[in-house]
Amino acid sequence: MTQDSRADQIFPTLTPAQVARVSAHGRVRQVKSGEVLVEAGEQSTRFFVVTAGEVRLVRQSGEGGELVAVFGRGQFTGEINMLSGRRRFVQIRAARAGEVIEIDRESLLVLVQADSELSDILMRAFILRRVKLIAHGFGDVVFIGSNYCAATLRVKEFLTRNGHPYSFIDLDRDEDAQELLDRFQINEGDVPVLICRGATVLRDPTNQQIADCLGFNEVIDQIHVRDLVIVGAGPSGLAAAVYGASEGLDVLVVESNSPGG
């Protein structure tokens, strides 16, 4: 990620006292130089705070990968996917031997709910990191289409409103588009096309097919009994969910398109 005027908020450094409060929710783990902590494509179930050494985020592209971010002592990994449980876009790798605090997703959610100071720091960083990922197209989706096509505009809106980063290839302007179409054996009649994690090719996909491919609902327990189910994530539905959760209810919000209605 490039330099940003809000770098201290995007990549904050926790104080020793804050690190100590985080450690109460996880376990200390020694890491070796070059050790992969999490692979790209894995579900976001683990969060790391660096206490010694250096951890890097690497985007797998071509030979060797592309460096996305570097975390030193007192800094932490993660973005909005840590809260939603969706799959990671990048690999997390130890650049030098050191030590991290590893926290599972459920314990992180408890920490965010219980510690308002840390919650503010983590949530602000998670949101700003997602904004940077979207701005730079650091996602796991390559989307091929034409801005003159209604289906293309529908898919772009679905990905954007769900906050999912993607790279867009415009068939009307990109000279290399045909090479990519040939590589994945895509015909002109298949457009728009979504390539998920460089492997799965969806031809003129529905929103449901995209959500399934990207694992939007993977962390939802389909057989778990809820106290309250809200159909529709518009302003009223979201407000009802917040009020219900604040009263200690186990709430599930169901939405066919995207949060916000």
At which residue do the structure tokens 């100071």 appear? 117
Quote the CA–CA distance of 80 and 99 in Å, as a whole number. 24
Give the model's pLDDT for residue 33.
93
- Report pLDDT digits (tens) over 182-206: 777 777 778 899 988 777 889 999 9
- For 25, which DSSP code? T
CATH 3.30.830.10 fits 7-136, yes or no: no
Average pLDDT, the chain: 86
Give the model's pLDDT for residue 206.
92
Quote the CA–CA distance of 157 and 142 in Å, as a whole number. 15
Give the model's pLDDT for residue 7.
80
- Report pLDDT digits (tens) over 9-57: 899 999 999 999 999 999 999 999 999 998 887 877 899 999 999 999 8
Going from N- to C-terminal start, the domains of the chain cover: 7-136, 141-214, 222-261
- For 68, which DSSP code? E
Is the pLDDT assigned to residue 180 strictly greater than 90?
Answer: no
Average pLDDT over residues 71-95: 88
CATH superfamily of 141-214: Glutaredoxin (3.40.30.10)
pTM for this predicted structure: 0.73
Average pLDDT over residues 242-258: 86
Token pair for residue 125? 């960083």
CA dihedral 212, 218, 222, 224 (to 10 degrees): -160
Give the residues across from 58 on adjacent strands: 67, 91
Which among 131, 134, 152 has a CA at the least distance from the CA of 143?
152
- Report pLDDT digits (tens) over 116-152: 999 999 999 999 988 888 887 777 888 988 888 899 9
Give the model's pLDDT for residue 2.
46
